[in-house]
Amino acid sequence: MVKFSKSSFKRFVLLVLLVITALLVAACGGNSAGKQAADQKAGDNSKQGNSDKIVLRLAHNQMPDQGYGLGVAKFVDLVKQKTNGKVEVQVFDQGKLGDERDVTEGLNLGTVDMAITSIGVMTNYNPELSAIVMPFIFRDYGHVEKVMESGVLNPALDKLQSKGMKALTIYAQGFRDVAMREKPIKSLADFKGLKIRIPAGEVYTETFKALGANPTPIPWGELYTSLQTKVVDGYENNPQVANQIKLYEVTKYLSLTNHIWEGGIVLIAKNKWDQLPADIQKAIQEAATESAKIQRDLIRKGDDKAIEVMKQNKMEVVTIDRASLITAVKPVYEQLGKKYGIEQLLKQIQEVK
């Protein structure tokens, strides 16, 4: 019989305990790994079960029941119908995900899938789009609709794909007028020296310089306060858009200039679009086109109602000789038409009957 010293026996017992502990840990680890694998498989199965549902996050900066919101509500319903519920459009309106530049950049960053961005802002991505917001390029709403259906804008819109976004259609903001705090604009001469808020964009800047005003870019969300504190004398925008933030509370006069028709391009991230099956792409495009036609018609019909709201809130509505304004902005066509290479596009828009 082998005899152990007292210290050797202790080491032997310790070794046996270590071996037993190692075996127990290995067994538990195996069970844990098995459970982890099972959980992972269940998670994968769960994801697979939800993979048929496509969710698109759409952001814009207007109210849900006005402006872009009128078209978005129809778009959401049409997408659901045309895809049999396979696609859900989640809407983030009123600038909840940021201003127009934020959400447009978000298309490439992956923070949003879709956005509606004003044409004025989109000229920063393709200057050729400036043709759409040139002063007095459109004769009336009927002319706008015919141009939208003619396809002449498609080449300029298609170039946005190189910037990581696909244009689906164009919603309307409408024709823009000029509203003032203290004195009305009744003629071209009345523009001289007035500080008028404009959105950032060369077309707007050059247009109001040509009219003799002092164009002042200010974020839309800061305009109400800027009028209250007399930072600017007035602003230009569509009455329906202006009424969304109650600008009739801080202005007294509206001059019906109809100087620029503005809209918002409905965009989807190019990489998101490319991942969608062909039938889903077709359904989304159809929904966008149909909803835009409805939205533009509602905006056309809404101008008179919006102007009536302004009158009810003690604003005076002023008519103005547009012929003199049209003559004053002719240099803008020559300057920007050549700069952006859009002389031919401008001609095509004007020739649409």
DSSP collapsed to 3 states, 126-161: CHHHHHHHCCCCCCCHHHHHHHHHHCCCHHHHHHHH
Q: How far apart are CA 106 and CA 113, in angstroms?
A: 8
Q: Is the model's pTM score more than 0.95?
A: no
3-class SS at 62?
A: coil
Longest Cα separation, the chain: 123
Residue 221 pLDDT level (bands cut at 50, 70, 90): confident
Tokens at residue 159, please? Answer: 């170039």
Residue 172 pLDDT level (bands cut at 50, 70, 90): very high
Is the pLDDT at 33 greater than 90? The verdict is no
Tell me if 1 is assigned to some domain: no
Is the pLDDT at 84 greater than 50? The verdict is yes
85 vs 15: which has the higher pLDDT: 85
Length of the chain: 353
Q: What is the pLDDT of residue 51?
A: 60
Tell me if 352 is assigned to some domain: no
The count of structural domains within the chain is 1
* pLDDT, average across residues 76-87: 98
Q: How far apart are CA 41 and CA 47, in angstroms?
A: 10
Tell me if 109 is assigned to some domain: yes
Tell me if 86 is assigned to some domain: yes
Tell me if 166 is assigned to some domain: yes
Count how many Cα atoms sit within 13 Å of the Cα of residue 308 in the half-sphere of its side chain: 5
Looking up residue 144, the CATH number of its domain turns out to be 3.40.190.170
Is the pLDDT at 224 greater than 50? The verdict is yes
Domain containing 271 equals: 53-173+263-302
Q: Is residue 290 packed enough to be buried (19+ CB in 10 Å), middle (13-18) or exposed (0-12)? A: middle
Phi first, then psi: what are they for 283, rounded to 5°? Answer: -65, -45
Tell me if 202 is assigned to some domain: no
Tell me if 138 is assigned to some domain: yes
Distance of CA 124 to the CA centre of its chain: 14
**Contacts with 43 (C-beta within 8 Å, 6 or more apart), sequence order:** none
Tell me if 155 is assigned to some domain: yes
